[in-house]
Amino acid sequence: MKLIRRVFVVLALLAPLPAIQAQTGMTDKVKVEARRAELAQIQQDLADPDPLRRQAVIETIVESRDATKIDFALRIALGSEDAAVRAIALRAYMANLKELHFEVQAPPDVQRQVEVALNGDPGQVADLINRYPYLRKIADFSWQVLFKLKNYDMSRNTGVASMNNPEHETTFTVTGDHVSGTGFTFWIVPCRFDFQPEKLIKDGLPVLKGTLTCNDGSPRLTIVAPMF
């Protein structure tokens, strides 16, 4: 019996390497096709005419904790025309998120001047700040808002975050596919924010876009953050 086992071991060791590689390649191909079928099924399920089924699909995928499936599903759902699907996808997205980096934009006529100045002479930025003093607080934070979430739970309508200043936390509310609240965004200036998923390009990925209105007499600002 031992002799037979030894013969099998020797034969296995003498097996042609190309044959082993071919078998491995076939196994990998099967795995790839199986995974592709799973992702294709998600895409098909999210296009189901039944809105309740679409919501159930999102919930089930989030519960699976499969990072690839979650990312794939959210990319589709956040760009959906179905407000209910966008709403649950937004909650799931934020529950799997630690922070958002918003670009802050001035009103269009001023923003065009800001972009020219930032790509040109730094002295032009200083001139703009002198002409539009509200720009100083934005420039002090590199024209950004860092929105840091504190363990948001997608089953809740509210959450806690900080905006640029980690010492000042704010409560935000999720209503449908909108997030809103008031926080100390620039030093001690309270600002009301509101943002939601939006596609800036028809076939592009959704971004988070909204407004920032500060209680210091400055005009309403636009905020935009990439989601993927």
The string of DSSP letters for 209-226 reads EEEEEETTSPPPEEEEEE
CA 36/CA 41 separation, integer angstroms: 9
Q: Give the pLDDT band (50/70/90) at residue 7.
A: very low
pLDDT at position 35 is 85
Q: Give the pLDDT band (50/70/90) at residue 25.
A: low
For residue 217, pLDDT beyond 70: yes
Q: Which residue in the block uniquely carries the two structure tokens 């905006």?
A: 163
Report, as an integer, the average pLDDT of 106-131.
Answer: 92
Locate 142 and state its tokens.
């590199």
CA 114/CA 138 separation, integer angstroms: 11
Entry pTM? 0.79
Q: Which residue in the block uniquely carries the two structure tokens 């309740």?
A: 52
| Residue 80 CB coordination number (10 Å) | 19
Q: Give the pLDDT band (50/70/90) at residue 1.
A: low
Burial of 23 (0-12, 13-18, 19+ CB in 10 A): exposed
Locate 93 and state its tokens.
């997205």
Report, as an integer, the average pLDDT of 4-21.
Answer: 53
| Residue 58 CB coordination number (10 Å) | 26
Mean pLDDT of the chain: 87
Locate 62 and state its tokens.
């989030």
CA 152/CA 183 separation, integer angstroms: 16
pLDDT tens digits, 30-72: 888 888 898 899 989 988 888 888 888 888 998 888 889 999 9
For residue 6, pLDDT beyond 60: no
pLDDT at position 21 is 60
Q: Give the pLDDT band (50/70/90) at residue 8.
A: very low
CA 157/CA 138 separation, integer angstroms: 29
For residue 203, pLDDT beyond 80: no
pLDDT at position 115 is 93
For residue 180, give the nearest of 156, 149, 212 by alpha carbon: 212
Higher pLDDT, 211 or 34: 211
CA 22/CA 27 separation, integer angstroms: 9
pLDDT at position 20 is 58
pLDDT at position 132 is 96
Q: Give the pLDDT band (50/70/90) at residue 143.
A: very high
For residue 209, pLDDT beyond 70: yes
| Three-state DSSP state, 96 | coil
Locate 84 and state its tokens.
């209910």
Domain range list for the chain: 2-95, 99-226
CA 7/CA 143 separation, integer angstroms: 72
What percentage of the chain has pLDDT greater than the value 70? Answer: 89
CA 69/CA 42 separation, integer angstroms: 8
pLDDT tens digits, 73-85: 999 999 888 888 8
Contacts of 156 by beta carbon, 8 Å cutoff, 6+ apart: 174
